[in-house]
């Protein structure tokens, strides 16, 4: 099953609209926070498929800052990353990975791509980037909404 993962929309609703058909076709979609209001621009079919955690810019939002999802026997920690200070490194998030025993942690916040085996930092959708993740192997592909233009 293909999982679409994106983060940090920050008002770039045009990029979210480009991603919408892929969201509809995916088995699951994770939004790692920062730009929750942009989800209102999606049709109900797309929006209903998205698991959301809140980011540091999603003020006054009652959504959790992290969730642990199990799919195909794999445990995935989904978080924005700001509570783990990922802009300063990944040691706090790595400790959470060890504590929870997850197979993979997904985060955003830095707007940059990073992968070290157990931590995958998803670059910002505001810049056109998203991740396609395989739920069976947890292998991934860095993608762009601008591909093919």
Give the domain extent around 39: 2-144
Domain with residue 53: its CATH number is 3.60.21.10
Q: What is the pLDDT, as a whole number, of residue 149?
A: 66
Residue 57: inside a domain, yes or no? yes
Q: What are phi and psi of 115, to 5 degrees?
A: -150, 130
pLDDT of 53 reads: 98
Alpha helices for the chain (secondary structure H): 13-25, 44-48, 91-100
User: How many domains, in total, are found in the chain?
Assistant: 1
Residue 9 lies in a domain: yes
Residue 24 lies in a domain: yes
Asked whether residue 149 is domain-assigned, the answer is no
What was the pLDDT predicted at 8? 98
pLDDT given for residue 48 in this prediction: 86
DSSP string, 92-135: HHHHHHHHHT-SEEEE-SSSS-EE-SSEEEPPBGGGTEEEEEET
Residues in the chain where the model's pLDDT stays below 70: 148-149
What local confidence, expressed as pLDDT, does residue 133 receive? 97
Q: What is the pTM of this model?
A: 0.96
Distance CA 25, CA 118 (A): 26
């Amino acid at each position: 099953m293909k999982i679409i993962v994106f983060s940090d929309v920050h008002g770039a609703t045009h990029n979210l609209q480009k991603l919408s058909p892929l969201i509809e076709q995916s088995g699951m979609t994770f939004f790692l926070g920062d730009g929750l209001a942009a989800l209102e621009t999606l049709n109900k079919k797309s929006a209903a498929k998205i698991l959301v955690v809140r980011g540091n810019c999603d003020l006054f939002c009652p959504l959790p800052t992290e969730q642990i999802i199990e799919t195909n026997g794999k445990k995935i920690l989904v978080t924005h990353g700001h509570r783990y200070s990922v802009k300063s490194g990944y040691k706090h998030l790595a400790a959470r990975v060890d504590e929870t025993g997850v197979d993979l942690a997904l985060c955003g916040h830095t707007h940059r791509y990073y992968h070290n085996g157990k931590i995958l930092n998803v670059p910002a959708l505001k810049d056109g980037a998203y991740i396609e993740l395989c739920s069976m192997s947890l292998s991934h592909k860095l993608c762009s909404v601008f591909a093919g233009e």
